């Protein structure tokens, strides 16, 4: 094992490196958000619901690149705790929409203050430009269609 306690094979695999970094950043945000009682994934979901103006669940799932069942699983504790409610679209009752409750908006505001602390901590450690570059690179990757044949 190398002196930084990582297995050498982890640096050869894009997926392993990405997952390690995601877990490290997830820990940072989860630790900072802990006083709010929310996980970083829950804070992010509340934020997406808030800015989405009562989005359809399918739109949230698509933008977060997750399936509807995983989204439903993630929403359950937020619904249980009274932060979010689902409702049928008034124009098409087959479409399920989601919105923050007044209590959810209060919780989101609380969590966003902590999120800013985590965001600043990351930028203080890696640099603002590096953090911006990282977000842009990850957004570019998330937009790729890996089902298509690679361009030559």
Residue 11: pLDDT over 90: no
Domain assignment present for residue 86? The answer is yes
Place of tokens 């989405």: 52
Least confident span in 3-12, 71-80, 130-139: 3-12
Domain assignment present for residue 46? The answer is yes
Look up residue 12 and give its two tokens.
Answer: 């050869």
pLDDT at 1: 43
CB 57 within 8 A of CB 86: yes
For residue 134, count CB atoms less than 10 angstroms from its CB and return exposed for 0-12, middle for 13-18, buried for 19 or more: middle
For residue 60, count CB atoms less than 10 angstroms from its CB and return exposed for 0-12, middle for 13-18, buried for 19 or more: buried
The pLDDT mean for the chain works out to 91
Domain assignment present for residue 131? The answer is yes
Range of the domain at 86: 41-136
Residue 87: pLDDT over 80: yes
What's the CA gap between 65 and 56, in Å, rounded?
A: 14
What is the per-residue burial (b if ≥16 Cβ within 10 Å, else e) of 12-42?
Answer: eeeeeeeeeeeeeeeebbbebbeebebbbeb
Number of domains in the chain: 1
Domain assignment present for residue 82? The answer is yes
* pLDDT tens-digit series, residues 94-107: 999 999 999 999 99
Domain assignment present for residue 108? The answer is yes
Q: What is the pTM (predicted TM-score) of this model?
A: 0.85
Residue 128: which CATH number? Answer: 1.10.10.10
Domain assignment present for residue 14? The answer is no
Please compute the mean of the pLDDT values over residues 7-35 and round it to a whole number.
89
């Amino acid at each position: 094992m190398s002196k930084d306690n990582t297995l050498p094979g982890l640096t050869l695999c894009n997926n392993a490196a990405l997952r390690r970094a995601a877990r490290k950043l997830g820990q940072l945000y989860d630790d900072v958000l802990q006083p709010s009682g929310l996980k970083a994934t829950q804070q992010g979901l509340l934020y997406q619901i808030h800015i989405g103006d009562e989005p359809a669940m399918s739109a949230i799932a698509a933008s977060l690149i997750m399936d509807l069942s995983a989204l439903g699983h993630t929403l359950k504790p937020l619904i249980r705790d009274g932060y979010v409610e689902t409702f049928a679209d008034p124009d098409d009752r087959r479409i399920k929409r989601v919105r923050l409750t007044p209590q959810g908006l209060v919780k989101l505001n609380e969590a966003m203050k902590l999120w800013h602390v985590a965001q600043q901590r990351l930028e203080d450690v890696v640099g603002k430009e590096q953090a911006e570059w990282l977000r842009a690179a990850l957004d570019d990757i998330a937009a790729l269609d890996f089902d298509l044949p690679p361009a030559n």
